[in-house]
Amino acid sequence: VFKVSGVRTLNGDYRNLFRRGMMGVEYALFRRGPLTMAPSQLGMFARSSEDYATPNLQFHFQPLSLDKWGDGLHPFDAFTASVCNLRPSSRGTVGLASPDPSAPPLIAPHYLSTDEDRRVAVDGLKLARTIAAQGPLARFRPEEYLPGADIRTDTDLLDAAGRLGTTIFHPVGTAAMGSASDPGAVLDERLRVRGIDRLRVIDASAMPRITSGNTNSPTLMIAEKGAAMLLEDAR
């Protein structure tokens, strides 16, 4: 998160009762304005280092800022540069808490549990700082708010990544598809649950590995292919 000067962001519009009201009126009457847009207005793919042949980072830039999703916007103008690792090597687990199917599952994400993921997290934060320091943004005098300009060492940056990081709503692979020889494969090549008749999983949990980008479109593709398989097998 970077504070900015000389420009108004959505933080400022949110703080001003009149402008906040006008946003609601504009949406209600014309279906346009800030309430019609997604939080991220700019995206970018990049490599965290020359070791990668293709981009392994995705940036989302938002003209707003907050401490965490669900909180109110900050009382100052700012923008957020979110960076995520597109191909994390850390692997989590999902288990049953009890025989009660309504009980919440036991979820252990194991974020940043590999050396590679820890290195990419630190390099991603450094790249975000490099972007904010570029000439076109300099006139807005960006001042780092989170994780904070005093966070300088790799150890401190890694700690900040662990404290501030989120899934960005892209969890996948909890019922991965794979070959019969793969001990971690829950589904076969037609999305059928192994060992249980007449049960399939047709969503992002079928992905054996996360796609290098937003998961929405790939999930729609899985759904369309899964629906076609259901029709084929019903004939």
Q: What is the pLDDT of residues 120-145, one digit of tens each?
A: 999 999 999 999 999 999 899 999 99
CA nearest to 75, candidates 9, 7, 6, 151: 9
pTM: 0.87
Whether residue 169 has pLDDT greater than 90: no
Distance CA 139, CA 135 (A): 7
**Residues with catalytic roles:** 170
Q: Which domains does the chain have, with CATH numbers?
A: 2-164 (3.30.560.10), 169-234 (no CATH)
Angle at 153 between CA 149 and CA 159, to 5 degrees: 85
- For residue 111, CA distances in Å to 85, 108, 117, 123 come to 11, 9, 8, 16
Distance spanning both ends of the chain, measured CA to CA: 55
Residue 70: band (very low, low, confident or very high) from pLDDT cuts 50, 70, 90: confident
